Structures are given as structure tokens and as C-alpha cells.
Chain A
Amino acid sequence: MIIPEYKIGELPPCPVAPDALQGIPRQQTNPSRWQGNDWEVFVKRLHSENIEVREKISSVGVYITDASGIAYGKAHGVVLAQSAGQISKILKAAQTYKVPVTVRGGGLTTEGESVAYGGLLLDMTGMSRVLDIDTDALTVRTQAGIYWHSLAEALRRKGMDYLSAPLNLTSSVGGTLGVGGIDVNSPQLGCSADQAISLQVVTPTGDIIECSDDSNAELFQRVILGYGQFGIIVEATLKIRPYTPLSMFYFYYDSLRTAVEDLQKLDKARVCDYTGILTMMDKAITLLVAFDTDEKKQAFEEHWQHALRGYGETGFVLKRILHYLLRPWRIREALFLLKRKRTLFPDLQPKHHMKDGKMLDRTVVFSRAVWKHWGGRQMVIPDIATNVDKFVQVVERGNAVCKKYFPYYTLYCVGIKLREDHKPHYELSSIPPDAEGWAYGCEFEPMLENKIYSRDYLQSFKNEIYDIGVDIGASYYRFGGMMKGYIRRALGDAVVDKHLALKRTADPAMILNKDVIF
């Protein structure tokens, strides 16, 4: 194999296996490792500022991969975040010595975004305390390295809850605000990032700035949904609400199109507090609806339930039995569905999280179920976000790709209510540029069932999903080293170059979260 020579700054043609989309060469997936120039003098500078840098493998090894289990990178050293002042010193030194700084919260990225390919890894979970809960103003001020779950624990002591957070509770507030954060109440409440009222940010050059829609608005716009490119969020003020248990119902479909159409109808009519679709392949498609209040539930039952084209559990099971009786060669698939139902359903409604028919701490229940039933050594979750009209097409095409690569997989579809006043935030983000009112996202997650797949196979699968986004005009929830090459193709050179220019101004040494987007 001949490795061609290339100039610094130019990506070479990939000499490895062909890309999923013929004719377009595959971009390098793992970023190359920073070689450590001036690392020693950088560490010396941090030590002089009383900042501990951990370099032993016992520390560095904790962060060697992210939730993907595919992207691997070793930092030269790790710092546990302690304060905005400390982070300011780190970034100033990093600018001087051109040391890449990778910021990590929960580490639940899946494209290597929170993996350090050399340089410094900054673990933000060191700054993870709640600072103030205001039950009158319905706000919370928190350090941004906090896990959503820990935030929920603190809020619950005061009878409060956050508005919208990722399904997975071991993601961090700061990381989520940089990416989006969607859950089954996002169709009504928007993404987590849109719940932020104000932030304290340390810019790549080490300035500590408080920003909001009214103050330092441009920085606020860049940092929210900004993939950590324009600053490190150290504190956030978020909206909160009184905690309510909820009533949840499931409707079952055998057509993705029908389920998506019904989902979008419900979202548009705003008749449910929570909606989403979760599937086992395209064989068991579940539309989930839930309510914070009995009044809303009753209104739904009176006016909307009959209009849904899904089945109740019994009816659907009978349909499926007939389906597999007529297709005995699909017995393995049937047994898989049966096994999943038996193991998953009890975990979705555990007795100790139910009271009077309502679910307590839904997020805990779902998060633990996600890790137990979908977690694994490798996690591959490519996604596409579109406007309302394109969504069903994306889901159907993505489903076909999933079928091609894996026997078992899940689709997770959720709407995201958009804020008209936040359009500037949405530029170069997971929110597709042509979305109005709502955006819709679908995650395509193979259930790997402890089988280990090669990186090439998994990357080819992801490439084929991302290609749909390029083809149809969409965006992605996950931007990262592994799929960086898609960003220009999906969003266009104009917006990428605009943000690259902003990035170069904000981060002259280009050290903050390298290779996530730029």
C-alpha cells in the first residue's frame, strides 16, 4: 500500500476500503493524534498555577473511549475541572502552547467527540454541583458538569424537575446544551439547549463571560448547540417546573409511515405532554404517549385515542402471531421479539416506580432500561434530523439501511419544538436549517447482542445512514471526528466557512475540541 504525500491541511484520499457511497472517498475517521509538542512546558505552566495534571494510565485510561467503544484516543493528561478560574488558566496556556483541549462531561458521545487524541482532557464532572434552586422563578443555577440525573435528585428534594433532558441521564448538562438534548417531551418543550436562560462560559482564549439572549447574545448563540467550539460552559441557569408523575400509554403499529404520521398529528395538536416512537426493527413499532395531568389524559381519551391507527397490546400481539404463523421462516425474529418483550417490559414499568397507575421518575426508569437493553461494549447510534415533511422518508430509508446491516435494531423517533427566537442558535447545529415549528429526529441503533463488529462494518453502516441526510437535506445530532466529513456535505460550505471564520477568531490556536467540527 502506498501512502501518498500530502500537504499539511489537506486531507488525503483514503487508501482503505471504499466508502458506502460509491465514488466519494471515505474521510479519515479517527483524527490523528497530536504529537505532544510543548506538552512538558504546558504542564509545567499548569503546575505553576496549582493545577494538577494526571498523566498515569490509571487516570488517562478512564477516558480512552466514549460510549461508542469504537473511537479510541489517549490524552497526554487529564485535569479534573474545579472552577471557571482554573479552566481560564488552562485555556490561556493551551492557546500559548497550542495544546488541544478536549472537554468531556458524561462521555456519551458516539463519534469520538469527547475522546482526546492526544493533548489535554478536561473532565467537567469535577464541577457538578447545584448552586441555587429558585422555586418561585422556576429556575436552577448549576455547574455544567453535572449529570442530568444528579440535577434531578437535587431538584426533587424541592418538588421540582427539569424541563427536558436526554433520555440517558449520565449525560452532562453542559455537554447536552452544546448538542441539543431530546426526550419524549421535546415535541412540547423543545430540546434541552432551548431551556437555558443564561450561561457562564470560558472562551477558548480564557475569558469568563456570562451570556444570555440579552447579554453577550452572540456568544450565547454560538455556545448553545455549538458543539463546544466557542467556549466551555461552566455554569448554566435553566428553567425548571414542579415535578409530576405521569400516565403513560403505548399504541402498536406495523407501519412506520402510519406511526410517524400519527405522531406528528399529535404533536401538532399538542394533545399530549410526551410523545415518541420506539421500535423493534419495523416489526413492533410503539407510539408512546404520556400525560402530566389527568385532565389532559381524559381529553386525549375522549377526542384523540380513537383517531390513532395503532392497536392496543392484545390486538397487536394477535396480529403478530398471525404474521409469524404465515411466515414460519421468520421464527428467529419472532423469538427475539418475544424475548425482548419479556425482558424489557417489566423494566419499563417496575413496581417501585409506579404508584396509582402513574410512573414515578420516568427518566430513571428509561435511562436504566436503555443501558441494560441497548448498552454494550460498542454503541452505534447514527441519527438524522429533518423538517416535518421529510421525516417519514428518512425513517423509511434509514430502516432499509438498518435491515441491510443488522438482524436486530431499534429506531427512536422524537419531535423537537423549535423556538422562533432561537433561529440564530440553530445555525450549524442538529436543528436542520429548513425546519419550521418542529424538527424531527430519528436515531438508528443496531442491537449488537454482544457480537463484536469491525469498525469498518459499523462505519459503513453509519456512512450509509448519514448519506441519506446528505441526499435529503438534513442535519445530525452527532457531529464528531468519525463523521466530520459529512458536515460540509450536509450543511453546505457557506455556513461551515462562516462558522470556521468565527471559530478562528474565537480560538486562534484552534485548540478547543479539535476535530469535532473543525
Chain B
Amino acid sequence: MAGTAPDFTECHGCSLCLLVCPVWQQTRDVALAPKGVARALQRNAASEELRYAANACILCGACNTVCPQDIDLFAMMLDLRHQDAGDSEIGEQDSIDIVSNDKTGSLLIPSKALQEQPELLGITQQLINETTPARVASDTGNDIVKTIESGLAVSEERLQQFLKPLRKCSRIIVDDGLLFRCLLQWLPHVRIISLGAVLSDMKPCRDLGPGDLYVINSRAYHADYSRLCGHYDNLIKATECKTNLDLNRVAIPTLGGAQQEVLDSKLQVEHLLEGRDINRIVVEDIQDATEISNWCDYPIMHVAEFINHVRAA
């Protein structure tokens, strides 16, 4: 149909998505990768048959960046997860009180993990305020993210409660990569930036060097790939730091924060670090720091901490 976005029917099996899929990387099972799922759907496979694949996906979004047919493979996997969960189920909301973000201006929406580290959140906000003051969102939408990732449906009422005040914002800085992707879709007329991109753009990040592994927030990066690819390329060229980008310039994720039970976290971190001659790791997503620190002894810091560290030195 004219004007319709390409879907799984357009997959002709090039396998480029396999090259960047962390699930395929570990399992080497094409049935679990976007290509396998798309081809199975072309042959009318039922969603129950694809349940395992849909739930194995860690929703990193890397596949979307390489698909030559521009199929929204991320949406395909999420949709399968949603079908498996059933349309009629509504996601449970967190029990915390949701206080609406009812002011305009610049807003920082921290992830749940960042919220749980008030000191780091404070440093982060302070850094952002140096250029354009931003208040921290009281309604962070974490329940919405959790619901979407589970494949459940978010109630329209809750969604509008979250989005309505955001429409009035001049700029929204988002930490959680999945929420970042969703907001780019839901609020196309609002300026939405990933937290990692904001912090990595700050001058002290030019002090990164060849001994540093800078771990880009993979979900956020892939959600805004066409823009962020150039941003991080500039950072790499300016500093010669290493990053978690592969040869396709796609970000290798840790499994930090992903709802999944198929992949081995240790293997994933080993894959990320293999062959890297580094002495320090700097991360954009605090969940990546937690994940990596479980499996190696390198000093690890959040990019906000790194910036402060450079300034203090």
C-alpha cells in the first residue's frame, strides 16, 4: 500500500540484522534474531511459535540501524511481545505517587537507576544546568517503560497524564534509552535529547583518551542513530577513545536494565571487552556500570562523574 512503512514482508534475508543482534551474537540461532522472526512471519508462523524469540530480544534497537529495507524490526519484536502478552491486559502502575510535570522549560527525565543514586543525579543535574537549566521530572514515566518492555499495553489515561505536560517543554533530556525512543515518536515536535549525548558533548569529555572505553547508551543511540552516529564519531576522532561501537558503528550493549532471561551477562561483557587495551571505563547509563563491574576490575565511572573528575584534576 502506498505510503505504508515497510514491515516484515519486505525482509529478503540479507542477515545484516544478525551481525548486530546481541541475541544472535550469543546464541548463534537465527530463529531468535529479527531475520528469523521476519521470515517466520512471512510463512505465517503463529505468534505463540515466536514467543521465545520475542522475549529473548533485549530491545536494543541495533537491528533498525542496519536494515536496508528500513523495516522497523524493533517494533516488530515489541509487537510480538505485545501479542503474546494479550491486548486486554493493562500494565500495573508503580505504587509510587505520580506527580505531574506541570511546568514548561527544560526537563531532565532520569531513569529509575539514576533516580536511585541521588548523588549522581545531583551531579548530573548540576552539569546540565551549566548550559540550560533543567528541572528534574517528578513523573519519570518509569512505570510506562516497564510496561512497554513487558509487552503490556499502557492505559491511554496514564500515557496522556505523562505526555500532556511534556508537550509544553522546550527541551527534554532523557536518560532511559527505551523511553527516549518512545518520546521521539510520541512528541515529534518537542526537542528531545539523550542524556548521554548532552554530557558527552561537554568539553571535559575531550579528555577521554585511547586508554578509555566509553560505553554509549545503546538503546538511546540506536533510537536516534542518524543524528548520534556523527556526534560520537566526532568524539572518537577528537579523543581517540575506544567505544562500544562495532565495525558497523552500532553500539554493543551490556544487558544492564534489559528484561531478559536468555543471554548470559558475563559473556556479553566479555564480548564487549575482548581485545580492548584499556585502563578505564566511562559509561552513559549507570546500569551499564553495574553490569560491567560484576565481571571485571577496571575502574568504572559515569560520564557525569568523569566530567567532575576532569575538572577537579
By a beta-carbon cutoff of 8 Å, the part of chain A in contact with chain B is: 54, 56-67, 69, 80, 106-107, 123, 125-129, 145, 147, 149-150, 152-154, 156-158, 169-170, 351-353, 355, 361, 364, 367-368, 371-372, 375-377, 379
Contacts and interface: CB of A to CB of B under 8 A. Distances in A.
Interface stretch (B30-38, B112-120, B202-210): B30-38
A107 B46 CA distance: 24
Nearest to A150: B19
A377 B12 contact: yes
Interface stretch (B86-94, B175-183, B243-251, B257-265): B243-251
A57 B45 contact: yes
Nearest to B245: A352
Given A149-B247, A352-B233, A61 B40 contact: yes
B29 interface: yes
20 contacts: A56-B49, A57-B40, A58-B31, A58-B43, A59-B31, A60-B43, A62-B13, A64-B39, A64-B43, A66-B13, A80-B28, A125-B28, A125-B30, A147-B15, A147-B18, A170-B18, A364-B248, A368-B66, A371-B68, A376-B12
Given A62-B40, A352-B229, A375-B68, A361 B30 contact: no
B71 to A, nearest CB: 12
Contacts, number: 103
Contact of B237 (A62, A129, A355): A355
A162 B248 CA distance: 17
B274 interface: yes
A106 B44 CA distance: 23
A353 B249 CA distance: 9
A64 B46 CA distance: 17
B299 interface: no
A130 B143 CA distance: 41
B16 interface: yes
A149 B19 contact: yes
Nearest to A155: B275
B20 to A, nearest CB: 10
A59 B230 contact: no
B247 A58 contact: no
Contact of A61 (B28, B43, B68): B43
A69 B276 CA distance: 40
B12 A69 contact: yes
Given A106-B15, A371-B68, A361 B230 contact: no
A65 B13 contact: yes
Contact of A352 (B14, B39, B230, B246): B230
A170 B14 contact: yes
Interface in B216-270: 229-230, 233, 237, 246-249
B308 interface: no
B50 interface: yes
A147 B19 contact: yes
A448 to B, nearest CB: 11
A107 to B, nearest CB: 6
Contacts of B279: none
The 10 A-B residue pairs whose C-beta atoms are closest, nearest first, are A157-B275, A61-B43, A58-B45, A170-B15, A352-B233, A58-B40, A371-B68, A58-B49, A372-B68, A62-B39
Contacts of B246: 153
B68 A157 contact: no
B16 A170 contact: yes
Given A128-B28, A170-B14, A375-B12, 9 more contacts: A57-B45, A61-B39, A61-B40, A80-B28, A149-B247, A170-B19, A355-B237, A372-B68, A377-B12
B248 A368 contact: yes
B42 interface: yes
Given A61-B40, A150-B19, A371-B14, A364 B247 contact: yes
A333 B313 CA distance: 62
Contacts of B44: 57
Nearest to A149: B19
Contacts of B229: 352
Nearest to B9: A377
A62 B31 contact: yes
Given A125-B28, A157-B274, A158-B275, A62 B35 contact: yes
A108 to B, nearest CB: 8
A56 B247 CA distance: 35
Contacts of A61: 39-40, 42-43, 45
B247 A152 contact: yes
A65 B14 CA distance: 12
B30 A62 contact: yes
A156 B247 CA distance: 9
Contacts of B274: 157
Nearest to A373: B68
Interface string B186-199: 00000000000000
Contacts of A368: 16, 66, 68, 248
Contacts of B45: 56-58, 61
